[in-house]
């Protein structure tokens, strides 16, 4: 019998971006803008990208590492309040195995000329292939890349 | 501007059933059995649908006459027969989306019966529902499952 386990976890990341909520929201909603920051680590190569940004729409991002290990992100959008909030769920696969199922909420709040972003992920990590600590670290890297993209103006 | 808020919460409900993991799992996997305890309806009446496979959808809607219509719609993400089911779902009241949840159900053999662990991680939207009310509602639904298994109705 294969070992089956689940580990439930959650984490919250807060960031402030020197851009308007509309600009930050667009960086998530527009496929070209999102492709500038929502990528894997430097040695990872993208093999498939799709974003159908609407309630019920799907997003996919597949890639491969030099050793041949594949990754697949497969998301579904459940709630979209323009410039305010996103709720999506996603499966992560690594090496062909489903390693987690997550519920992610992104909230955008204006603070002066800037935007406060609150990212909350609630997840179940399957069969010991990943954990909340690893996922939080990866998500922080994405939100760092979003900051760089917004500063350079390339996320718009 | 409409008020937007999100309350994140997790609750866990553990139950023991005097039925094998295969029988308890079947209560979730078989559309006729699940309609009996989960939807209180026969399938094919147009208000309950279950496509139990990874990527499949489940839908139930109903309510009191002249009252609001409650709609539940789920997607299945992970299925390990007799062991585990991971799904996500939203709840609507009329056209208002009140929550999006991630639900994990685990089944473990225990002294001839089954230990079931239900974990819900939810995002409750705009103050339309609360984790406490959802947990209470879920406990009620699992009571109905327990009764159906005991009565061998499913």
Please write the tens of the pLDDT for every residue from A38-57: 999 999 999 999 999 999 99
What whole-number percentage of chain A has pLDDT above 70?
97
Contact A79 B101 (CB under 8 A): no
The C-alpha angle with vertex B67 and arms to B94 and A85, in degrees rounded to 5, equals 25
Say if CB B59 and CB B75 are below 8 A apart: no
pLDDT at A35 over 80: yes
Contact A6 B84 (CB under 8 A): yes
Q: What is the CA radius of gyration of chain A?
A: 16
Q: Is B104 exposed, middle or buried (0-12, 13-18, 19+ CB in 10 A)?
A: buried
Mutual angle of helices B131-150 and B21-29, in 10-degree steps: 120
At residue A3, the pLDDT reads 73
> What sign has the CA pseudo-torsion B129, B133, B137, B138?
positive
Contact B77 A85 (CB under 8 A): no
Q: Which residues in chain A are contacts of B104 at CB distance < 8 A? A: 6, 8, 124
pLDDT at A9 over 90: yes
Q: What is the CA radius of gyration of chain B?
A: 16
Mean pLDDT value of segment A85-98:
97
pLDDT at A75 over 50: yes
- Local structure of residue B42 (DSSP, 8 states): -
Q: Which residues in chain B are contacts of A10 at CB distance < 8 A? A: 8, 10, 121
Query: For residue B81, what are its two tokens?
Result: 């027969």
At residue B66, the pLDDT reads 85
ipTM: 0.92
Contact A79 B90 (CB under 8 A): yes
Strand order of the β-sheet with A85-94 is A6-17, A114-126, A97-111, A85-94, A70-81, A58-64, A45-51
Q: Which residues in chain A are contacts of B106 at CB distance < 8 A? A: 6
pLDDT at A132 over 70: yes
Contact A105 B8 (CB under 8 A): yes
User: Which residue from A81, A85, A124 is facing B102, i.e. has the nearest CB?
Assistant: A124
Say if CB A23 and CB A15 are below 8 A apart: no
Q: Which residues in chain A are contacts of B75 at CB distance < 8 A? A: 76, 89
Residue B84 touches chain A, beta carbons under 8 Å: yes
Q: Cβ contacts of residue A112 below 8 Å, gap of 6+?
A: none
CA B33 to CA B26: how far, in whole Å? 7
Say if CB B12 and CB B131 are below 8 A apart: no
At residue B63, the pLDDT reads 82
Q: List helix spans (H) across A45-156.
A: 132-152
What are the b/e assignments for B21-40, b being 16+ CB within 10 Å? bebbbbbbbebebbbbbbbe
At residue A1, the pLDDT reads 45
At residue A156, the pLDDT reads 52
At residue B47, the pLDDT reads 80
pLDDT at A95 over 50: yes
Could you please report the per-residue DSSP string of A69-101? -EEEEEEEEEEEETTTEEEEEEEEEETTEEEEE
Terminal C-alpha separation, chain A: 50
Series of mean pLDDT values for 10-residue runs along chain B (154 residues): 84 97 97 91 68 97 86 97 98 95 97 96 95 96 95 88
Residue B102's CB: how many other CB atoms inside 10 A? 25
């Amino acid at each position: 019998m294969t070992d089956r386990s689940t580990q439930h976890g959650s984490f919250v990341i807060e960031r402030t971006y020197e851009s308007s909520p509309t600009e930050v929201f667009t960086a998530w909603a527009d496929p070209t803008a999102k492709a500038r920051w929502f990528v894997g680590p430097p040695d990872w190569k993208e093999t498939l990208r799709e974003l159908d940004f609407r309630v019920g729409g799907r997003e996919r991002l597949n890639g491969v590492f030099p050793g041949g290990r594949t990754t697949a992100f497969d998301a579904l959008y459940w709630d979209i309040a323009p410039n305010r909030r996103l709720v999506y769920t996603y499966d992560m696969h690594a090496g062909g195995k489903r390693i987690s199922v997550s519920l992610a909420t992104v909230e955008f709040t204006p603070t002066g000329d800037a935007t406060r972003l609150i990212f909350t992920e609630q997840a179940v990590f399957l069969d010991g292939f990943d954990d909340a600590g690893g996922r939080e670290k990866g998500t922080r890297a994405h939100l760092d890349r979003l900051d760089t993209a917004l500063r350079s103006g390339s996320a718009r | 501007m409409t008020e937007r808020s999100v309350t994140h919460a997790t609750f866990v409900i553990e139950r023991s059933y005097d039925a094998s993991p295969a029988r308890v799992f079947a209560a979730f996997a078989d559309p006729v059995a699940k309609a009996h305890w989960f939807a209180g309806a026969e399938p094919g009446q147009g208000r309950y649908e279950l496509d139990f496979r990874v990527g499949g959808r489940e839908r139930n809607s109903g309510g009191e006459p002249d009252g609001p219509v409650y709609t539940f719609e789920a997607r299945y993400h992970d299925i390990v027969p007799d062991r585990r089911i991971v799904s996500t779902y939203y709840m609507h009241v009329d056209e208002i989306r009140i929550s999006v949840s991630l639900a994990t159900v685990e089944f473990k053999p225990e002294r001839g019966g089954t230990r079931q662990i239900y974990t819900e991680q939810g995002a409750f939207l705009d103050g339309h529902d609360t984790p406490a009310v959802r947990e209470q509602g879920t406990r009620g639904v699992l009571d109905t499952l327990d009764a159906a298994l005991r009565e061998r109705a499913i």
